[in-house]
């Protein structure tokens, strides 16, 4: 904006011309040109024009214009590779002019807030964050006093305060100030200020890891962009956010659009173009396009070097060198990589994160070169950059992660330091160094846990869990090695904790919520509102993810607005809960991680053995625990995932070679454990690709050996999502109480009027109708088939039934797992697609869920969650006792297994035992069921207890009732006869 005021007297004094004359080299013209150059981003030319104009006003003591010119010149200096003394002089000159002449020349007051803002920027570059924050507050106070609340300066000052608090990791304060800035900007209708506020708010959400809201807000910043340079900036940031959540093609598209705009605005390489190029390099690399990434990286480095010294001090050139060094290191050329990282160190960039990245890469290179101690000091150099005032006394020191300028570095620097410390400990046989290594990893875990608990977005929690998987790999590996060295079972207990942290975290959080709601007297209305928001937000997010390409722009915008409204409403509700129900809020999000002894005592039966797996690409860690002993093993996992997928395909497709594949995987994951197993009942907590296969089908002898034996025949098995979740469920069930009765549903797929309207891929299911008919003969309850088997009925009945049996088709969505759904009959209120995200929003306290569709236990594996399947959704909703399937099965063969299972339940057998008996019955009594394709697809996850029903097989007990009534009648008759004799 051009704030220039004409001063004819200044022109006369400087140039000896009359006030009415116009000259091209007047300060008026110079400053007008400077303003235009500044607005266009030509900061070097703008700075020179301001400096040329300044002496004219200084000679006549025109303090107003002196203040104006120096204020903007000082701001321009920050965008240029000038020496620190030039920047310092410009900033302090502007500030001193205004400070000295506030009283004498009141016009300078209008620039006072801006001068204070520039002072805060100056101290920020100096890493004096306390003085930076102090000047931000002074600028805000000055803007409110001089310009008023409804002013551009006030909006900018609040915006700067938000950015300053964000840099310190004080996210709550940051968002408060940025929201105030946005509110003022919206009231004033200033699109540029609205853009800056939304852009910064999106950045804060991204720093928090809340990428869903970050993307939503960044899209709003795109809408608010008032000019091409801001539009390019918003698209660049939006593209980077999409890459962050692995939506690479969308991210690359936005980045290319941003780059096209920035190339159009400049005929040479600029910082902005450089930034977008780096984001594209990153996006190509993350999406597996390594060659395109490498070619673009070489291109941009060559272009920057050719323009020296323009980029000699650029953070972007430093980042480019960091990328190059990392790529060369990954190619196995550590010495060459060190040369590239040395080039990065020669760049005088002011960016803390760029410098930290350089030191991180340097540490990895030095590690590869065997220079362990030098690598440790490189990590310490990174800490010094990221933590103001941090001065390590030794390479074992770690900073307070809460003070780090970028907390995400705890997931890279802390584990690297831990690995290096353990290497050094091995080199010099120093046990204390190994303990220091463990302490470092534990600090990283604290940072991850605290960060995850601060996120309200499920997507962000999933990302944090995925990123922290390598940390838990390191922690479990460390505890294994320490256990092998010391024999101290404390290390087994700690390893169990980290194994559990990698499984079913969202299920645990929701079970916590249910428990907290019962214990802390929170209004059911508030709990229901929270659940409703979660479901509605998931619905609109799914629409935006999956349907945008086929929907009108108006509909997409309407979804975005509604999603924005729901998100803000959910935030407000969380604020209310935190303030009014603090104990509930804390419990709702707390990760309650019980120790191994508690889980063994309260979850594992006395005659059971618990086997918990933790999968990495190279190792398979196994924890085995029964009532008396605990063992901690490490098995090789090289090629295991490939073998498991081969086995899964063989089972799924009913192939003859399934026996060979089964025996091979059995030898890898189970046979080495058998000498440690003393019981015939097993609790299995699988991880990684092991989630895809049923253990029952493992062939325990080579194919062709006699007698032929499946693991099913030797052991009774049940699964758990995690031991901690199972323990939590016990507490929740006690509070919720037991539900009785059966609700069974089987819609039609025969094309009739009452049939589900589904694609041709879903054929008729006559077997499903038989299942419901058979249940109707065994139990009391609600049995819905055909037109009555509606989604609406399910939602009405799911909170009041003891058993939920759903016999229908499953539509799997691999791209968006939450869109996987069971097909039921639609109504005017519901579409008949019972989505995973909808199940997440239900309350299902059933004793058992039997999901008799195809693939109901199969889903995308996510770190920290397991397989995101329909079974996972039922557990989240409060029903972790589920029978599920891992692949499609023939409809006409299912009813036999289902009937035997329920008959065994009605006899009082536990759920795991009943399913085992049903499988053995089918295997032994029907030649059609010999191949494990037919019977092993069914798996049970949950507890051992029998199902309690209000009435078991009523006809079986009818004769007892009749006999009892006859006996009572006879007794009364005899008594009456004797009384009246």
Confidence of residue 469 (pLDDT cuts 50, 70, 90): confident
Confidence of residue 110 (pLDDT cuts 50, 70, 90): low
The pairing of beta strand 810-811 with beta strand 821-823: antiparallel
What's the whole-number average pLDDT of the chain? 81
Token pair 């692949």 is found at 887
State the average pLDDT over residues 825-832.
84
Residue 963's CB is within 10 A of a number of other CB atoms, namely 10
Judge whether 275 and 239 are in contact, CB under 8 Å. no
Give the model's pLDDT for residue 284.
94
Whether residue 933 is predicted with pLDDT greater than 50 in this model: the reply is yes
Give the model's pLDDT for residue 613.
95
Give the model's pLDDT for residue 420.
93
The whole model's pTM is what? 0.69
Give whole-number Cα distances, 167 to 133, 353, 366, 464, in Å: 10, 11, 30, 20
Confidence of residue 107 (pLDDT cuts 50, 70, 90): low
Residue 833 bridge partners (DSSP): 823
State the average pLDDT over residues 877-896.
81
Give the model's pLDDT for residue 574.
77
Percent pLDDT > 90 in the chain is 31
Give the model's pLDDT for residue 952.
41
Which tokens sit at 469?
Answer: 């998987």
In tens, the pLDDT along 540-593 reads: 766 665 555 556 777 777 777 787 788 778 778 877 877 787 766 655 544 557
Find, among 435, 446, 427, the residue nearest to 375 by Cα.
427
The pairing of beta strand 716-719 with beta strand 681-685: parallel
Give the model's pLDDT for residue 24.
47
Give the model's pLDDT for residue 209.
64
Dihedral of CA atoms 157, 162, 163, 166 in degrees, nearest 10, equals 160
Dist. CA 809–CA 911, nearest whole Å:
23
Give burial (CB, 10 Å; 0-12/13-18/19+) of 287: middle
DSSP string, 557-581: HHHHHHHHHHHHHHHHHHHHHHHH-
In tens, the pLDDT along 767-780 reads: 788 888 888 888 88
Whether residue 5 is predicted with pLDDT greater than 60 in this model: the reply is no
Give the model's pLDDT for residue 513.
60
Q: Give the range among 51-60, 443-452, 567-576 with minimum mean pLDDT.
A: 443-452
Whether residue 20 is predicted with pLDDT greater than 50 in this model: the reply is no
In tens, the pLDDT along 279-317 reads: 999 999 988 898 999 999 999 999 999 998 888 878 899
State the average pLDDT over residues 733-749.
81
In tens, the pLDDT along 365-375 reads: 999 999 999 99
In tens, the pLDDT along 156-185 reads: 999 999 888 876 666 778 888 999 999 999
Q: Give the range among 143-152, 603-612, 822-831 with minimum mean pLDDT.
A: 822-831
Residue 18's CB is within 10 A of a number of other CB atoms, namely 9
SS3 call for 694: coil
Whether residue 716 is predicted with pLDDT greater than 80 in this model: the reply is yes
Dist. CA 379–CA 146, nearest whole Å:
47
Give the model's pLDDT for residue 586.
59
Whether residue 273 is predicted with pLDDT greater than 90 in this model: the reply is yes
Give whole-number Cα distances, 929 to 67, 382, 925, in Å: 89, 62, 8
Give the model's pLDDT for residue 265.
92
Which tokens sit at 522?
Answer: 């929170």
Which tokens sit at 130?
Answer: 């306390």
Percent pLDDT > 70 in the chain is 80
Confidence of residue 736 (pLDDT cuts 50, 70, 90): low
The three-point CA angle 480-680-718 to 5° equals 75
Which tokens sit at 390?
Answer: 């941090």
> What does DSSP assign to residue 842?
S
Judge whether 687 and 502 are in contact, CB under 8 Å. yes
Q: Give the range among 32-36, 513-517, 689-693, 826-830 with minimum mean pLDDT.
A: 513-517
Dist. CA 62–CA 6, nearest whole Å:
12
> What does DSSP assign to residue 833?
E
Give the model's pLDDT for residue 389.
79
Token pair 């051009």 is found at 2
Dist. CA 833–CA 860, nearest whole Å:
19
Q: Bigger pLDDT: 898 or 255? A: 255
Give the model's pLDDT for residue 670.
97
431-454 and 458-486 helices, crossing angle to 10°: 160
Give the model's pLDDT for residue 454.
54
Q: Give the range among 105-109, 145-149, 198-202, 754-758 with minimum mean pLDDT.
A: 105-109
Dist. CA 130–CA 740, nearest whole Å:
62
In tens, the pLDDT along 846-884 reads: 899 998 866 565 555 455 444 557 777 888 788 889 998
> What does DSSP assign to residue 810?
E
Confidence of residue 812 (pLDDT cuts 50, 70, 90): confident
Token pair 């990428």 is found at 211
The answer for residues whose C-beta is within 8 angstroms of residue 374's C-beta and 6 or more apart is: 366
Give the model's pLDDT for residue 975.
46
Q: Bigger pLDDT: 524 or 132? A: 132
Residue 633 bridge partners (DSSP): 622
Whether residue 30 is predicted with pLDDT greater than 80 in this model: the reply is yes
707 cis-preceded (ω within 30 degrees of 0): yes
Whether residue 344 is predicted with pLDDT greater than 90 in this model: the reply is yes
Q: Give the range among 16-25, 472-481, 611-620 with minimum mean pLDDT.
A: 16-25
Phi, psi of 717 (to 5 degrees): -125, 150
Whether residue 666 is predicted with pLDDT greater than 50 in this model: the reply is yes
Whether residue 406 is predicted with pLDDT greater than 70 in this model: the reply is no
Give the model's pLDDT for residue 767.
79
Confidence of residue 87 (pLDDT cuts 50, 70, 90): low
Judge whether 379 and 360 are in contact, CB under 8 Å. yes
Whether residue 627 is predicted with pLDDT greater than 60 in this model: the reply is yes
The answer for residues whose C-beta is within 8 angstroms of residue 537's C-beta and 6 or more apart is: 563, 566, 567, 570
Which tokens sit at 229?
Answer: 């340079």
Whether residue 458 is predicted with pLDDT greater than 60 in this model: the reply is no
Q: What is the CA radius of gyration of the chain?
A: 34
Find, among 246, 248, 247, 304, the residue nearest to 275 by Cα.
304
Whether residue 978 is predicted with pLDDT greater than 50 in this model: the reply is no
SS (H, E, C) 592-639: CCCCHHHHHHHCCCCCEEEEEEEECCCEEEEEEECCCCEEEEEEECCC
Whether residue 17 is predicted with pLDDT greater than 50 in this model: the reply is no
704: left (phi over 0), alpha (psi -120 to 50) or beta: left
Count CA within 13 A, CB hemisphere, residue 259. Answer: 19
Which tokens sit at 630?
Answer: 């605990």
Dist. CA 756–CA 745, nearest whole Å:
13
State the average pLDDT over residues 458-470.
63
The three-point CA angle 150-154-156 to 5° equals 125
Confidence of residue 461 (pLDDT cuts 50, 70, 90): low
Give the model's pLDDT for residue 459.
55
């Amino acid at each position: 904006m051009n704030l220039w005021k004409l001063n004819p007297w200044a022109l006369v004094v400087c140039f000896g011309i009359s006030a009415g004359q116009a000259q091209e080299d007047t300060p008026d013209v110079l400053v007008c040109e400077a303003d235009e150059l500044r607005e266009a981003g030509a900061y070097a030319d703008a700075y020179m024009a301001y400096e040329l104009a300044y002496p004219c006003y200084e000679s006549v003591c025109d303090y107003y214009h002196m203040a104006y010119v120096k204020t903007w010149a000082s701001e321009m200096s920050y965008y240029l590779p000038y020496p620190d003394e030039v920047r310092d002089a410009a900033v302090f000159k502007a500030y001193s002019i205004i400070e000295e002449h506030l009283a004498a020349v009141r016009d300078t007051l209008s620039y006072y807030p801006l001068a204070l803002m520039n002072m805060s920027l100056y101290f920020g570059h100096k890493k004096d964050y306390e003085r930076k924050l102090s000047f931000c507050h002074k600028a805000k106070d000055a803007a409110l006093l001089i310009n008023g609340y409804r002013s551009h300066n006030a909006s900018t000052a609040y915006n700067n305060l938000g950015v300053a608090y964000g840099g310190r990791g004080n996210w709550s304060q940051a968002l408060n100030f940025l929201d105030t800035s946005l509110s003022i900007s919206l009231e004033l209708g200033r699109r540029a200020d609205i853009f800056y506020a939304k852009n910064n708010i999106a950045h804060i959400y991204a720093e928090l890891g809340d990428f869903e809201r970050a993307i939503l807000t960044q899209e709003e910043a795109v809408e608010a962009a008032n000019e091409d340079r801001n539009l390019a900036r918003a698209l660049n940031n939006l593209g980077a956010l999409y890459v962050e959540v692995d939506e690479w093609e969308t991210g690359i598209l936005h980045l290319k659009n941003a780059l096209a705009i920035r190339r159009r605005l400049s005929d040479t390489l600029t910082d902005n173009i450089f930034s977008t190029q780096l984001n594209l390099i990153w996006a190509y690399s993350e999406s597996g396009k390594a060659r395109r990434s490498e070619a673009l990286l070489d291109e941009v480095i060559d272009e920057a070097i050719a323009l020296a010294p323009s980029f000699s001090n650029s953070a972007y050139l430093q980042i480019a060198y960091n990328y190059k060094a990392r790529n060369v290191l990954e190619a196995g050329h550590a010495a060459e990589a060190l040369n590239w990282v040395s080039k990065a160190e020669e760049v005088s960039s002011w960016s803390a994160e760029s410098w930290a990245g350089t030191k991180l890469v340097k540490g990895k290179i030095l590690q590869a070169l065997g220079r362990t101690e030098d690598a440790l000091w490189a990590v310490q150099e990174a800490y010094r950059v990221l933590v103001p005032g941090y001065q390590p006394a030794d390479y074992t020191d770690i900073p307070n992660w809460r003070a780090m300028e970028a907390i995400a570095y705890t997931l890279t620097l802390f584990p690297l330091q831990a690995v290096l410390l353990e290497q050094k400990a091995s080199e010099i046989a120093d046990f204390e160094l190994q303990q220091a290594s463990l302490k470092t990893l534990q600090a990283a875990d604290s940072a991850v846990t605290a960060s995850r608990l601060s996120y309200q977005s499920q997507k962000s929690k999933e990302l944090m869990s995925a990123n922290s998987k390598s940390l838990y790999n390191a922690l479990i590996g460390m505890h294994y090695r320490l256990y092998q060295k010391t024999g101290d079972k404390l290390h087994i207990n700690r390893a169990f904790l980290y194994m559990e942290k990698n499984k079913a975290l969202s299920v645990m959080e929701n079970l916590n919520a249910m428990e907290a709601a019962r214990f802390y007297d929170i209004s059911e209305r508030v709990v229901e509102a929270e659940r409703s928001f979660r479901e509605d937000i998931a619905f609109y997010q799914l629409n935006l993810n999956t349907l945008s390409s086929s929907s009108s722009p108006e509909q997409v915008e309407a979804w975005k607005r509604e999603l924005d409204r729901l998100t803000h409403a959910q935030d407000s509700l969380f604020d209310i809960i935190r303030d009014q129900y603090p104990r509930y809020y804390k419990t709702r999000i707390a990760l309650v991680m019980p120790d191994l002894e508690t889980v063994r005592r309260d979850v594992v039966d006395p005659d059971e053995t618990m086997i918990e797996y933790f999968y990495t690409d190279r190792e398979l860690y196994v924890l085995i625990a029964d009532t008396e002993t605990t063992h901690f093993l490490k098995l090789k996992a090289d090629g295991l995932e490939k073998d498991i997928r081969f086995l899964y395909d063989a089972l799924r497709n009913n192939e003859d070679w399934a026996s060979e594949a089964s025996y091979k995987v059995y030898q890898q994951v189970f046979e080495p454990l058998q000498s440690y197993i003393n019981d015939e009942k097993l609790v299995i907590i699988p991880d990684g690709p092991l989630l895809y296969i049923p253990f029952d089908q493992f062939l325990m002898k080579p194919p062709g050996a006699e007698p032929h034996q499946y693991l099913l025949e030797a052991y009774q098995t049940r699964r758990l999502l995690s031991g901690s979740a199972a323990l939590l469920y016990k507490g929740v069930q006690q509070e919720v109480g037991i539900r009785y009765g059966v609700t069974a549903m089987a819609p039609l797929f025969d094309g009739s009027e009452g049939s589900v309207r589904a694609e041709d891929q879903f054929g008729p299911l006559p077997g499903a109708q038989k299942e419901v008919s058979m249940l109707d003969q065994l139990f009391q309850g609600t049995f819905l088939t055909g037109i009555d088997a509606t989604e609406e009925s399910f939602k009405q009945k799911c909170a009041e039934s003891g058993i939920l049996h759903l016999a229908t088709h499953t539509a799997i969505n691999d791209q968006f797992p939450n869109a996987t759904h069971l097909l039921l009959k639609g109504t005017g209120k519901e579409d008949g697609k019972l989505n995973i995200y909808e199940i997440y929003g239900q309350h299902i306290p059933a004793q058992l869920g039997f999901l008799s569709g195809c693939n109901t236990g199969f889903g995308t594996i996510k770190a920290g969650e397991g397989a995101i399947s329909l079974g996972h959704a039922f557990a989240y909703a409060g029903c972790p006792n589920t029978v599920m399937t891992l692949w499609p099965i023939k409809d006409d063969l299912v009813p036999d297994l289902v009937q035997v299972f329920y008959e065994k339940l009605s006899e009082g057998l536990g759920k795991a035992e009943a399913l085992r008996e049903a499988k053995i019955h089918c295997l032994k009594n029907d030649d059609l069921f010999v191949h494990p394709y037919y019977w092993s697809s069914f798996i049970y996850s949950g507890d051992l207890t029998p199902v309690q029903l209000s009435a078991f097989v009523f006809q079986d007990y009818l004769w007892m009732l009749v006999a009892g009534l006859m006996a009572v009648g006879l007794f009364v008759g005899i008594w009456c006869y004797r009384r009246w004799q």
